[in-house]
Amino acid sequence: MTRTTPFNLRKWLRGRKGQQAIIIVLFMAVPLALLLTFTYFPFAEMFKFSFYKMKYVGEREFIGLKNYIDVFKRDDCFQALWLSVYYMCGAVVQLALALYLAAILSFKVKGGNFFKGCMFFPYLINGIAIGFIFKFFYTRGFVFDTVLQWFGFELENLPYWLKDTSINNVSLVATSVWKYFGNNMVLFIGAMMSVDNELYEAAMLDGANKWQQFKYIMLPSIKTIVMLNLIMSITGSLSAFEPPFVIMSGGANGTATYFVKMHEIAHTSQKVGLASAMAIILLLIIFAATVLQKLFFKYVFKDGEDEDVNAAKRREKKLAREKARLKRRG
Amino acid sequence: MSIVQKIKHYAWIVIQYFSLIFFSFVALLPIVSCVITAFKTEEEYQTTNVMTMPENWFNFDNFIEAFQKADMGRAFINSTIILIFVVAGSVMIGSMLAYVLNRFKFPGNGLIRSLFLFATLLPGIAMQVSTYQLMYRLHLINSLLGYIVLSMGTDVIAIYIFIQFFENISTSLDESAYIDGASYMTIFFKILFPLLKPAVVTVMILKGVGTYNEYYNASLYLSSPELKTVALSLYTFVGPLGSKYNLICAGVIISLIPALIVFLLFQKQIYSGLTSGAVKG
The CA-atom distances, in angstroms, between A122 and each of A102, A103, A118, B120 are 16, 20, 8, 24
Q: Give the pLDDT band of residue B133 (cuts 50, 70, 90).
A: confident
pLDDT digits (tens, 9 = 90+) for A6-21: 778 888 887 888 889 9
The whole-angstrom separation of Cα A235 and Cα A242 is 14
**Same domain assignment for residues A320 and A217:** yes
A310, pLDDT greater than 60: no
Is there a single domain that holds both residue A21 and residue A102?
no
Separation of alpha carbons B18 and A221, rounded Å: 26
Quick check: helix, strand or coil at residue A52?
strand
Shortest Cα distance from A320 to chain B (angstroms)? 23
Q: Answer yes or no: is A1 within a domain.
A: no
C-beta atoms of A35 and B116 within 8 A: yes
Does any domain span residue A145? yes
* Residue in A177, A176, A217, A179 with CA at minimum distance from that of residue A197: A217
**Residues A21, A162 share a domain:** no
Tell me, yes or no, whether A139 and A30 share the same domain.
Answer: no
Q: What is the pLDDT of residue B255?
A: 96
Contact yes or no for A39 and B119 at CB 8 A: yes
Residue A62 lies in a domain: no
Segment A278-284 mean pLDDT? 90
Backbone angles phi and psi of A62, in degrees to 5: -75, 125
Number of Cβ within 10 Å of residue A53's Cβ equals 17
**How much is the pLDDT for B1?**
66
pLDDT at A322 over 80: no
Query: How crowded is residue B43: how many other Cβ atoms within 10 Å of its Cβ?
Result: 9
Instruction: Answer yes or no: are the C-beta atoms of A44 and A280 closer than 8 Å.
Output: no
Shared domain check, A199 and A305:
yes
Residue A58 lies inside a defined structural domain of this protein: no
State the alpha helices, DSSP H only, in B180-244: 184-186, 193-195, 197-213, 216-221, 230-233
Give residue-wise pLDDT tens across range A147-191: 999 999 998 889 999 998 889 999 999 999 999 999 999 999 988
3-class SS of residue A54: strand
Position B87 scores a pLDDT of 94
What are the tens digits of pLDDT across the range B166-181? 988 888 988 899 989 8
Q: Which CATH architecture has domain B71-278?
A: Orthogonal Bundle (1.10)
Across the interface, do B33 and A129 touch by the CB < 8 Å criterion? no
For B185-220, the pLDDT digits (tens) are 999 999 999 999 988 998 898 899 999 999 999 999
Same domain, A38 and A164: no
Q: What is the CATH number of the domain that holds A247?
A: 1.10.3720.10
Domain count across chain A:
2
Reference B160, options B89, B85, B90; nearest CA is B90
Give the per-residue pLDDT at A293. Answer: 78
Q: Quick check: is A251 in a domain? A: yes
CA atoms within 13 A on the CB side of A104: 24
In-domain check, residue A4: no
- Whether residue A172 sits in one domain with residue A89: yes
Res A281 pLDDT > 80: yes
User: Do A15 and A131 reside in the same domain of the chain?
Assistant: no
Q: How confident is the model at residue A276 (pLDDT cuts 50, 70, 90)?
A: very high
Please indicate, yes or no, whether residues A146 and A33 belong to a single structural domain of this protein.
Answer: no
What are the tens digits of pLDDT across the range A93-115? 999 999 999 989 988 888 999 99
A162 and A248 housed in the same domain: yes
Domain membership of residue A66 (yes or no) is no
Distance, in Å, from the CA atom of B103 to the CA atom of B191, rounded to the nearest integer, reads 14
- The SS3 of residue B71 is coil
Q: Does B24 touch chain A (CB under 8 A)?
A: yes
Range of the structural domain that residue A109 is part of: 71-329
With an 8 Å Cβ cutoff, are B97 and A28 in contact? yes
Q: Which range among A63-77, A125-139, A212-226 shows the weakest confidence by mean pLDDT?
A: A212-226
Does A14 fall in a domain?
Answer: yes
Residue of A nearest to B91 (CA): A31
* Most confidently predicted of A2-16, A248-262, B52-66: B52-66
> B33-37, B144-148, B162-166, B244-248: which has the minimum mean pLDDT?
B162-166
Chain B residue numbers touching A297 (CB-CB < 8 A): none
Q: Which residues of B touch A119 (CB under 8 A)?
A: 23-24, 27
Nearest to A182 among B16, B27, B231 (CB): B27
- Band (pLDDT 50/70/90 cuts) for residue B53 is very high
CA A152, CA B72: separation in Å to the nearest integer? 41
